[in-house]
C-alpha cells in the first residue's frame, strides 16, 4: 500500500492516539486501575496501527505499536555500565539482620533509629533501562556488574516498560534499574503449552524469564508476557532526584515506571523484622515469585556516607526466604490410587529442607511427566516447593547420575486390588479399573464424602476411614449411616464418648443441601462450583439424573467432557442403588425451583459480583463464609483485582486488604458482612 499524504490532522490524530494509549498503559501497568475495557483499548491500538501503516514516515521508536518484536539478531552486543550494577549481601536469619543494623549504627556513629525502605526481592533478572530526554534508548542485562548485553529489542516488547516517560522534570539522562520477571500465571501457561507440544518446559519462573529475555528473536519474547518492576536508579545526569530512596521510586512511578506495591518505609530493626514476617505470610498468594526482602537505608545522604565494600553496598542487604529448590536423591517410586482410580507415581526422596519444611515425598504426576524428565531411581534431582504447593521434581541433575540407575515402570495392574490399569486415549492419567472393589478408591471416596465441604461429618478422619474399610465395616458411603456407637467404640483410639460424638455428627449430616450432596458423590470433574450450577439448573436430583449430555451442556460452565462424566455417572446401576441407599438412610435436602439460588431462597442478589475473604472471622470459618456468598450468587476469588466488588476482612488480614485499599475497593468488616448476608440486595 502506498503511503498517503501527511496532513496536520493526521499528525494530530496519531499524537493523540499515542498519548491516550500511553495513558491507558500507565493506568493499567503502573496504577493497576484501568478506566476502559480491553475492547476499547484494542480499538485505539488498531486505529493507531492503521494510521501508521498508511503513513510509515510518522512511525517513531517510542510509539506504543513498536512492541511486537523485530527481526532476529545474530548475537547480542555488549554494554559497559557507566555505574556498576552491584550485587547485595545476603542474610538468612533475624540475628544476621540485627548484626547488619548494628554495623550501620556503628559506622554512622549514631544511636538514632535508622529509616529503611523495604521491598520484595523479586525472583527475576536484573536489567538497566536508559532514558535520554524521557525516551527509552537502551535496555541491558546486569551481566557481571561491569558489562552486560544489549537486549533493547526484547525490552521494548515488555508492556510495563514505558517507551517514553510521562510528565516532566526527569533528568536528561536517567538509568532505571529493576527486575524483569514472569508472573506465575504466565509461567504456568507457558509450560502447559510446552507440554502439549512436546517442548522443553522451564524449571521455574526465573528460568523462564531469563530464557525469554535472551531470545535473539524478540518476537518470541513478545509472546512470553514478561513484566518489569523498578527497584532503583543508576546513572543520572542533568537533573535532581529526591533525597530518599522511597521517594525516588515514587517519583519514577509518577513518570510511568512500575514499582512494587509492597514498598514500605519502616524505622529500626523491629520494623524490618515485622515487614519480613508480614510478607512471608502472603508470599504464596502473590502473583509472582519472590525469594526474600531487600532492606535499604532510606536516606541518600546516609547511603553515600556508608559507601560500598567490595562489590556490594554497605547500606543494603537481602534477607532471603528459605530456599524453594534443593537437590536430593530419588530413592524409590511408589504408586498411589486416588478416588477416581488415578494411579499417581510418588517419589520417595532422601529428606531435604526446602521451602521451610523437610520434604521426603514429591509428586511425579504421570508417565508422560516421568518420560519428559527422564528421571530414574537413584538420580539426583531438583525438588521445588512453593508455598502450599505439593513438592515436585522439576529436573534431573544429569552430571550426578550414578552408573547404576533403575527405570521407573508404571504398573499394568493396580498395586492395591490387582485390577487392570488402563489409560484412555488422549488422557495422560492411567486409572485402576476396579472401582469400589478397589480399597484405595473406596477409602478416598469415603474421605471425600465425609469432608467438610461435602457432607461435613466431623470426626470421620483418615485413620478411622482406614480402619472401617480394612475391617470390612464400610463397603460404600451408605454404610456410614449404619454405624452405631458400640461398633465405633471398639475401634483403635475410639472411646465411648468419641463414638457417640461421631454418631451424632453422622446423624446431623443427613440434613444437607443438593450442591453439597452432588459434590460429595465424587463425580469426575464436578467440583463445588459445578455442583452448585447443576443444582441451580435442575432444582432436584431426579431431573438431573435423567439429563443427557446435550441438556447438561446447557448448564453454565459445563462442556462436553464434564457432561459425559455426569451422564455416565448417573447411568450406572451402582450409582443409582447407592443414592437410593443414602436416601433410605435419611439423607435429605430441600428442593427448589430451577434457576433459584442453591440455598433455595429467591433469586441470586449477588450474581455477577466478586468477593475476596481475608483474615479470620469470629462467627464462622472462611469456608462457611465462602459458601454463604456463593449461595447468594457471588463469585469468591482468591486474590484481589480490579474486578473485585468487595473484600471481607477479618483480624489478621494482610496483603489482600492493603491491595483493596490501594485500588479503592469496598472493605467489609465482619459486622458489615453479616449485615450483607441478612440483606444481600443492599450490595447493588
Nearest to 684 by CA among 574, 609, 629: 609
Q: How many CB atoms lie within 10 A of CB 460?
A: 23
Strand, coil or helix: what is 330? strand
Cα angle vertex 610, ends 605, 613, to 5°? 110
Q: Which residue has the cell 525516588?
A: 248
Strand, coil or helix: what is 676? helix
List C-alpha distances in Å: 70 to 22, 96, 141, 163, 600: 21, 47, 19, 15, 58
And the C-alpha cell for 273? 523484622
Distance of alpha carbon 202 from the chain centroid: 16
Is 121 among the catalytic positions? Answer: yes
Identify the active-site residue in 11, 80, 109, 121. 121
And the C-alpha cell for 435? 472401582
Strand ordering across the sheet containing 666-668: 635-637, 610-614, 646-649, 666-668
List C-alpha distances in Å: 226 to 18, 163, 184, 590: 22, 15, 10, 50
Beta-strand ranges (E) seen in 507-645 are 511-512, 588-589, 610-614, 635-637
- Is the Cβ–Cβ distance between 539 and 596 less than 8 Å? yes
Strand pairing category for 588-589 and 511-512: parallel
List C-alpha distances in Å: 147 to 84, 137, 311, 631, 643: 8, 17, 14, 59, 43
Instruction: Sort residue 349 into left (φ over 0), alpha (ψ -120 to 50) or beta.
Output: beta
Nearest to 565 by CA among 597, 518, 605, 602: 518
Active-site annotation, residues: 121
Amino acid at each position: 500500500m502506498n503511503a498517503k499524504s501527511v496532513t496536520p490532522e493526521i499528525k494530530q490524530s496519531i499524537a493523540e492516539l499515542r498519548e491516550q494509549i500511553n495513558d491507558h498503559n500507565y493506568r493499567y501497568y503502573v496504577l493497576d486501575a484501568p478506566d476502559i475495557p480491553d475492547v476499547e483499548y484494542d480499538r485505539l491500538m488498531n486505529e493507531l496501527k492503521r494510521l501508521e501503516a498508511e503513513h510509515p514516515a510518522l512511525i517513531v521508536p517510542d510509539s506504543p505499536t513498536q512492541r511486537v518484536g523485530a527481526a532476529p539478531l545474530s548475537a547480542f552486543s555488549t554494554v559497559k555500565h557507566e555505574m556498576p550494577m552491584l550485587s547485595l549481601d545476603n542474610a538468612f536469619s533475624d540475628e544476621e539482620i540485627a548484626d547488619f543494623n548494628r554495623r550501620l549504627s556503628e559506622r554512622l556513629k549514631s544511636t538514632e533509629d535508622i529509616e529503611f525502605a523495604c521491598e520484595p526481592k523479586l525472583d527475576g533478572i536484573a536489567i538497566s533501562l536508559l532514558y535520554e530526554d524521557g525516551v527509552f534508548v537502551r535496555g541491558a542485562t546486569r551481566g557481571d556488574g561491569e558489562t552486560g548485553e544489549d537486549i533493547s529489542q526484547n525490552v521494548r516488547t515488555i508492556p510495563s516498560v514505558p517507551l517514553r516517560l510521562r510528565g516532566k522534570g526527569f533528568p536528561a539522562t536517567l538509568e532505571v534499574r529493576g527486575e524483569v520477571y514472569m508472573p506465575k500465571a504466565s509461567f504456568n501457561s507457558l509450560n502447559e503449552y510446552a507440554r502439549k507440544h512436546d517442548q522443553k518446559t522451564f524449571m521455574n519462573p526465573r528460568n523462564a524469564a531469563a530464557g525469554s529475555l535472551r531470545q535473539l528473536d524478540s518476537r518470541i519474547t513478545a509472546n512470553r508476557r514478561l513484566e518489569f518492576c523498578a527497584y532503583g536508579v543508576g546513572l543520572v545526569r542533568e537533573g535532581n532526584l529526591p533525597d530518599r530512596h522511597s521517594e525516588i521510586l515514587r517519583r519514577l512511578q509518577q513518570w510511568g515506571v512500575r514499582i512494587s506495591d509492597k514498598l514500605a518505609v519502616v524505622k529500626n530493626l523491629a520494623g524490618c523484622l515485622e515487614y519480613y514476617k508480614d510478607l512471608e505470610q502472603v508470599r504464596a498468594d502473590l502473583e509472582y515469585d519472590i525469594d526474600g526482602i531487600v532492606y535499604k537505608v532510606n536516606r541518600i545522604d546516609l547511603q553515600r556516607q556508608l559507601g560500598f565494600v567490595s562489590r556490594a553496598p554497605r547500606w543494603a542487604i537481602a534477607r532471603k526466604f528459605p530456599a524453594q529448590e534443593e537437590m536430593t536423591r530419588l530413592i524409590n517410586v511408589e504408586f498411589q490410587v486416588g478416588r477416581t482410580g488415578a494411579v499417581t507415581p510418588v517419589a520417595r526422596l532422601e529428606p531435604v529442607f526446602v521451602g521451610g519444611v523437610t520434604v521426603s515425598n514429591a509428586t511425579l504426576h504421570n508417565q508422560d511427566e516421568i518420560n519428559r524428565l527422564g528421571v530414574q531411581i537413584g538420580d539426583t534431582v531438583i525438588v521445588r516447593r512453593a508455598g502450599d504447593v505439593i513438592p515436585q521434581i522439576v529436573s534431573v541433575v544429569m552430571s550426578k547420575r550414578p552408573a547404576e540407575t533403575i527405570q521407573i515402570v508404571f504398573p499394568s495392574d493396580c498395586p492395591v486390588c490387582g485390577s487392570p490399569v488402563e489409560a484412555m486415549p488422549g488422557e495422560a492419567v492411567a486409572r485402576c479399573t476396579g472401582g469400589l472393589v478397589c480399597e484405595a478408591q473406596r477409602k478416598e471416596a469415603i474421605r471425600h464424602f465425609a469432608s467438610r465441604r461435602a457432607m461435613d461429618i466431623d470426626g470421620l478422619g483418615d485413620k478411622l476411614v482406614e480402619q472401617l474399610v480394612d475391617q470390612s465395616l464400610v463397603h460404600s458411603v451408605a454404610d456410614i449411616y449404619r454405624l452405631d456407637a458400640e461398633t465405633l467404640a471398639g475401634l483403635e483410639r475410639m472411646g465411648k464418648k468419641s463414638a457417640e460424638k461421631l454418631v451424632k455428627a453422622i446423624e446431623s449430616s443427613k440434613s444437607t443441601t443438593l450442591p453439597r450432596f452432588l459434590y460429595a458423590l465424587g463425580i469426575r470433574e464436578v467440583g463445588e462450583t459445578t455442583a452448585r450450577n447443576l443444582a441451580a439448573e435442575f432444582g432436584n436430583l431426579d431431573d438431573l439424573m435423567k439429563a443427557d449430555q446435550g441438556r447438561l451442556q446447557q448448564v453454565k460452565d459445563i462442556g462436553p467432557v464434564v457432561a459425559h462424566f455426569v451422564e455416565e455417572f448417573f447411568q450406572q446401576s451402582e450409582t443409582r442403588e447407592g443414592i437410593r441407599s443414602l436416601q433410605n438412610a435419611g439423607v435429605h435436602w430441600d428442593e427448589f425451583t430451577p434457576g433459584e439460588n442453591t440455598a433455595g431462597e429467591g433469586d441470586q442478589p449477588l450474581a455477577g459480583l466478586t468477593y475476596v475473604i481475608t483474615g479470620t472471622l469470629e462467627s464462622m470459618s472462611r469456608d462457611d463464609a465462602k459458601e454463604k456468598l456463593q449461595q447468594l450468587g457471588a463469585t469468591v476469588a482468591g486474590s484481589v483485582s480490579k474486578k473485585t466488588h468487595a473484600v471481607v476482612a477479618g483480624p489478621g488480614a494482610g496483603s489482600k486488604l492493603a491491595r483493596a485499599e490501594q485500588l479503592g475497593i469496598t472493605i467489609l468488616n465482619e459486622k458489615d458482612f453479616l449485615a450483607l448476608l441478612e440483606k444481600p440486595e443492599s450490595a447493588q
